[in-house]
Structure 1
Amino acid sequence: MRKTFLVYLVSIAAFFGPFTQTIYSPLLPELARRLQASQDAVNLTIAIYPIFFACMQLVYGPLMDRFGRRKLLLIGFMFYVCATIGAALSETVAQLILFRALQAMGVAAGSVAAITIIGDLFEGHKRGRSMGIYQMLVALGPGLGPVVGGIVGQHYGVDRLFWLLFACSLAFWLVLFIGLPETRTAHASGGQFRLRQMTAVLTHRIGLAIVVLGSVQYAVFYTLLVLLPNLLVDVYALTPSRIGWLFLPISVCIVIGSMIGGRVQEHVEAKKLLLLLASFNMMSVLLFVITASLSVPALATGLAIFGLSLGLSLPVQITILSNEMPNHRATATGVYNFFRYVWMTIGPIAGTFFYRFGYKIEFFVFVLIFIAVLFFMYYRFFGRMELSASDKSYS
């Protein structure tokens, strides 16, 4: 019971990251009027967030391996709480941009700490199920944020939204302070950090395959999210309200898939399962290309299948990564998250540029890239390879 409580505790800490990123996105026009700023400048307060969130993954990972999980999570989350006060008090868009960057720098500790602590607490099948809980709560964040922000902002304004976020995050920090023990194990690295610890993740036989898969999946996922409104307007001429509802299938199915994926690991060997689920995810992208222009229900079905396949594979990835790299678990998690969040940003930028050539061509190219990744994964997972020095140091 105690360990289950800790799983939900650290998963909620990770949930605050994506939740905060999108919480006031429905209020951007109102925010532009209140700050007397251009829409582009206000949009930057959203765009700046994932950049700092991604970079801090590389900072928190090694620090948590050296100094412990609890201390760094408490410091990072309190930094986020204080930055939220700054966001609530911001009177110019420049101030809000600054405090949004500081929010991201602080709350980034949550995602690294959650995966690492779950890895510390559990072994085998229980670790996989717990990773499913983590991924489920993280997947809720981006979808739930705009819902809460829209309701609170409509009735009380964007200022009180930030103050509500401050109150909730401060209360949660107190729960963390009281309820979270240190979980760093005796065999985990506590020595001086060296850059090769970080680069070794990318030369590790299994670690590199996981990083590459996660990066491609996030690039496809966020490209789809960004381009979907344009596609729905161009092909079906849908109104904004109807477009909003079509984000629901993918969000709900990611959550469902994450819950199931954590449990399926108990019955199938993890690497074989991940290769199967990644293949399913690739085929779902191809299905989307085929069905997107047939009808709105067919498109919604394609989105749901993509969300389900993505959700199924995510907890398996982080379980394998945690199993393979126990001595530098936080560093490995930080590198994995960094590349996912970087490609989460790069994917939509490239996708928006190439959209002019047609979305079908664009996502078919993603399918070809996905197929190459599957062959690469098979080679790294099951090919005959000598155990590299980095593999030995992480084992």
Structure 2
Amino acid sequence: MSSTHSEPSRAGLILLLAGLAMFGPFSIDTIFPMFPQMEQALQIGPVQMQQTISVYLFAYGLMSLLHGPLSDALGRRVVVLVGVAVFVLASIGCALSSSLWQLLLFRALQGVSAGSGLIVGRAIIRDRFSGAEAQRVMSRITMVFGVAPAIAPIIGGIIGTRFGWAAIFWFLALFALVLLATSWRWLPETHPRAARVPLAPLPLFARYFDLLRNPRFTWLSLSGALNFSALFIYIASAPAFVLQHLQLDATEFGYFFVPAIIGMMSGAWLSGRRAGRYSPASNVQLAYRVMLLAGGANLVYCALAPSIAWPWAVIPVMINGAGISLAFPTLTLLLLDLYPQERGTASSLQAFIQLMTSSLVAGLISPWLAPQPLYLAMGAVAATALGLLSWRMALRAGVQADQFH
């Protein structure tokens, strides 16, 4: 999987890594508007349909344990290229599926491959950049990457209502094919052979347990995962939230996703602006103030309003998204700095923890909370509170958050 390729500019690398990170959330959000049509076509119920998300996330999470170590052993570039190629084939399989079991099989294969760009991309950032510059780059990638969940359901609604739900998966295959060609041409190899670590499965999983026994690593990972869960509760419940509670139609998912992602992009922008000016601890503390303020306002609104309505039901979600993405680059870099020689491995385990948490939210918690807006608001606040507790525990365990190393 090596070939002659050109080194991209700094801006070009940021755009490429953001694009590679985008096809993961695209796989989730594009099909939301077509849930009712897919249920009818496959003759299944809403709970079964929800499993197309949880199966995808579960497979994504399991494979995330290998993407980073594979890139540590084989190089960053080859792992990304193979992952994107498999995603193309999996998307074609989803488009041709005629039963729930076929769809779940290929959704799992999508999940197995989709994490290569996001997980290995984080390691590439840390290979190329350090300190405050790494925070700026990761924040900018988060801003570009944040466009995906905003436009994915809009694109899915337009394509699905005109051409049917299978056309959405043909679109995903085409999108990934363009990324594959672009990566083949411009993705650099940032992990030289001299720095590579041999891949040994048994020692690898033993190493994962070593990382998990480090309370600083575990609490930082949980903090980021729980923060995101406060938003993912709404993302996983989007069909019920948008179609039933907000009473919008399949082409209007953007009324929820666009404000939510504007919030996330704003938080990522603020994180980049604060890089090198304020300490990591200051960034995270500000982020939790924003998240708790948004969560409290959401609780009050959902408890007192006779029925929720746009935009008031979406504004707190947007503000919460800003807090989440303000904290995330800092939490990730603090975590990666714990293991400077094993960034791929650390990134994989972090992704695994986040994805298993999201899979639990999608498969178990979301179906339970989705029927009532107040339940969703309570779940989001609970996730934020647990994230804050995890951050405090990370500091107590000895995380040095005065500056990046």
Range class of TM-score, shorter chain? 0.7 to 0.9
Output the CA distance in 1 between the equivalents of 2:241 and 2:53: 22
Task: Indicate the residue corresponding to 2:3 in structure 1.
Answer: none
Cα distance, 1:37 vs structure 2: 4.8
Task: Indicate the residue corresponding to 1:257 in structure 2.
Answer: 267
In structure 1, which of residues 106, 120, 124 is the aligned counterpart of residue 113 of structure 2?
Answer: 106
In structure 2, which of residues 338, 344, 347 is the aligned counterpart of residue 333 of structure 1?
Answer: 347
Output the CA distance in 2 between the equivalents of 1:82 and 1:229: 27
Q: What does 1:176-187 align with in structure 2 at a 5 Å threshold?
A: 176-185=183-192
Output the CA distance in 1 between the equivalents of 2:99 and 2:175: 24
1:316 aligns with 2:323: no
8 Å Cα contact 1:249/1:307 also seen in 2: no
Output the CA distance in 2 between the equivalents of 1:183 and 1:18: 25
Task: Indicate the residue corresponding to 1:379 in structure 2.
Answer: 396
Task: Indicate the residue corresponding to 1:77 in structure 2.
Answer: 84
1:333 corresponds to which letter in structure 2? Answer: S
Cα distance, 1:48 vs structure 2: 1.5
Greater CA drift, 197-206 or 69-78? 197-206
Q: In 2 relative to 1, CA 30–370 (structure 1 residues): closer, same or farther, beyond 3 Å?
A: closer
Q: In 2 relative to 1, CA 93–365 (structure 1 residues): closer, same or farther, beyond 3 Å?
A: closer
Q: In 2 relative to 1, CA 351–157 (structure 1 residues): closer, same or farther, beyond 3 Å?
A: closer
State the secondary structure of the residue aligned to 2:173.
helix
2:325 corresponds to which letter in structure 1? Answer: G
Output the CA distance in 2 between the equivalents of 1:229 and 1:27: 9
Cα distance, 1:275 vs structure 2: 3.5
In structure 2, which of residues 208, 213, 232 is the aligned counterpart of residue 222 of structure 1?
Answer: 232
8 Å Cα contact 1:292/1:298 also seen in 2: no
1:162 aligns with 2:179: no
Q: What does 1:136-285 align with in structure 2 at a 5 Å threshold?
A: 136-185=143-192, 188-193=195-200, 194=203, 195-204=205-214, 206-226=216-236, 238-241=246-249, 245-285=255-295
What is the TM-score with the length of structure 1 in the denominator? 0.85
Q: In 2 relative to 1, CA 164–223 (structure 1 residues): closer, same or farther, beyond 3 Å?
A: closer
Cα distance, 1:79 vs structure 2: 0.8
State the secondary structure of the residue aligned to 2:98.
coil
8 Å Cα contact 1:223/1:347 also seen in 2: yes
Cα distance, 1:136 vs structure 2: 2.2
Task: Indicate the residue corresponding to 2:317 in structure 1.
Answer: 303
Q: In 2 relative to 1, CA 34–284 (structure 1 residues): closer, same or farther, beyond 3 Å?
A: closer
1:11 aligns with 2:11: no
Q: In 2 relative to 1, CA 38–362 (structure 1 residues): closer, same or farther, beyond 3 Å?
A: closer
Q: In 2 relative to 1, CA 47–367 (structure 1 residues): closer, same or farther, beyond 3 Å?
A: closer
1:155 corresponds to which letter in structure 2? Answer: R
Instruction: Answer 1 or 2: which has greater helix percent.
Output: 1
8 Å Cα contact 1:131/1:318 also seen in 2: no
Cα distance, 1:325 vs structure 2: 2.1
Q: What does 1:53-132 align with in structure 2 at a 5 Å threshold?
A: 53-132=60-139
Output the CA distance in 2 between the equivalents of 1:212 and 1:156: 41
8 Å Cα contact 1:56/1:105 also seen in 2: yes
Output the CA distance in 1 between the equivalents of 2:371 and 2:53: 24
Can you list the C-alpha shifts for 1:329-348, whole angstroms capped at 9, x where unaligned? 01111111111111123245
1:209 corresponds to which letter in structure 2? Answer: W
Output the CA distance in 2 between the equivalents of 1:63 and 1:268: 35
Q: In 2 relative to 1, CA 226–57 (structure 1 residues): closer, same or farther, beyond 3 Å?
A: closer
Output the CA distance in 2 between the equivalents of 1:48 and 1:207: 26
Greater CA drift, 217-226 or 115-124? 217-226
Cα distance, 1:6 vs structure 2: 1.6
Output the CA distance in 2 between the equivalents of 1:228 and 1:152: 18
8 Å Cα contact 1:279/1:374 also seen in 2: no
Q: In 2 relative to 1, CA 146–201 (structure 1 residues): closer, same or farther, beyond 3 Å?
A: same
What is the TM-score with the length of structure 2 in the denominator? 0.83
Cα distance, 1:368 vs structure 2: 4.6
Greater CA drift, 195-204 or 55-64? 195-204
Cα distance, 1:46 vs structure 2: 3.1
Task: Indicate the residue corresponding to 1:387 in structure 2.
Answer: none
8 Å Cα contact 1:286/1:363 also seen in 2: no
Q: In 2 relative to 1, CA 24–243 (structure 1 residues): closer, same or farther, beyond 3 Å?
A: closer
2:68 corresponds to which letter in structure 1? Answer: G
Output the CA distance in 2 between the equivalents of 1:207 and 1:331: 12
Gaps of 5+ in 1: 384-394
1:197 corresponds to which letter in structure 2? Answer: R
Q: In 2 relative to 1, CA 169–244 (structure 1 residues): closer, same or farther, beyond 3 Å?
A: closer
Q: In 2 relative to 1, CA 371–353 (structure 1 residues): closer, same or farther, beyond 3 Å?
A: same
Output the CA distance in 1 between the equivalents of 2:96 and 2:191: 37
